[in-house]
Amino acid sequence: MIKIIADTTCGIPVATLKAAGIEVLPQIITFGNDSYRDDTELDTATFLSKLRKAKELPKTAAPPHSLYTPIYEKILNAGDSALVITPSAEVSGTYRSAMIAAKEFDTDRIQIVDTRTIAGGLGSIVLQAQKWSNEGIGMEELVGKVQSMLKREYAFFIVPTLDYLLKGGRIGGAAKLVGTLLKIVPILTVDDGKVATFEKVRTLRQAKKRFINLIVEACKNNPDPHLSISHCDNIKGARELKSAVEKQLRIKDIPIYLVPPAIVVHAGPDLLSMSCFLTQEKHL
């Protein structure tokens, strides 16, 4: 059997992942001299409370490779194989940690895929990979399916300020927007693992409307778009997006995920994000 290994940046509740048989690793959040795992020691609500009181932006770190080692050992000793699905190596050190730990075992029964994305889209890939694994397909086919899926993601997000992305060094191709924020609301995307500018509009209302139109257009005549919505401290906005998209596409039950602390550090509160998967590889 192929066991799927994920981490908290996929945005799926830890309890949901564990119930599905998926191994989950934490990201590490550090406020001053105090560090917390974001799977068991720090949830998003507590994190936001600490963030608003903090004088400096907290730091984040990928799960240390030592956390992967016992998981790999358990899976291999049971006669199974492991597929690690990580957030983009451009914004997280998780892929590197997983690779370092895997070198200790020197086996092709551990495979690691850098999805070049994060949050809701990453979560959709993780859940779909688990579904494929449960169907009993082999490792080569499973890796191929995951790699095909990640190339078809269409994701957009809005943040009220680029300050967090700038301070955290995750701003990528959106850096050129700094200094013009008073005049525009950027619609951002993830392009080859990096944050990039997709479009610039004048108001938040326009951004949300455009957001919806982009996703609806992408998902027309798509029988399985794996739509998801992610947010931080903006459940009202997330529900408005969900209602509008479900009505126009005539679908139900688009999941809404609360992004974990490790993403909020770099995106900031009030984040809104939508992700779907095209029937063919995207061309932004």
Residues 63, 187 share a domain? no
User: Considering the entire predicted model, what is its pTM?
Assistant: 0.90
C-alpha triplet 157, 263, 215: angle, nearest 5°: 20
Residues 140, 107 share a domain? yes
Location of structure tokens 């075992």? 105
Residues 77, 144 share a domain? yes
CATH number for 167: 3.30.1180.10
pLDDT tens string 95-146: 999 999 999 999 999 999 999 999 999 999 999 999 999 999 999 999 999 9
DSSP summary character for residue 202: S
Query: Does residue 140 belong to any structural domain of this protein?
Result: yes
* The domain boundary residue, chosen from 128, 150, 172: 150
Q: Tokens representing 115?
A: 């999805």
pLDDT of residue 164: 60
Question: Is 141 in contact with 111 (CB distance < 8 Å)?
Answer: no
Residues 226, 178 share a domain? yes
Query: Does residue 284 belong to any structural domain of this protein?
Result: no
Query: Does residue 283 belong to any structural domain of this protein?
Result: no
Query: Does residue 11 belong to any structural domain of this protein?
Result: yes
Exposed/middle/buried for residue 236 (C-beta within 10 Å: 0-12, 13-18, 19+): exposed
CATH number for 31: 3.40.50.10170
Query: Does residue 80 belong to any structural domain of this protein?
Result: yes
**Three-state secondary structure call for residue 147:** helix
pLDDT of residue 104: 95
Residues 135, 6 share a domain? yes
Q: Which domain holds residue 172?
A: 153-277
- Domain total for the chain? 2
pLDDT tens string 10-63: 999 999 999 999 999 999 999 999 999 999 999 888 988 998 888 888 999 999
H helices, E strands: number in the chain? 10, 13
d(CA 9, CA 38): 10
**Three-state secondary structure call for residue 30:** strand
Does the pLDDT of residue 170 top 50, yes or no? no
Residues 212, 121 share a domain? no
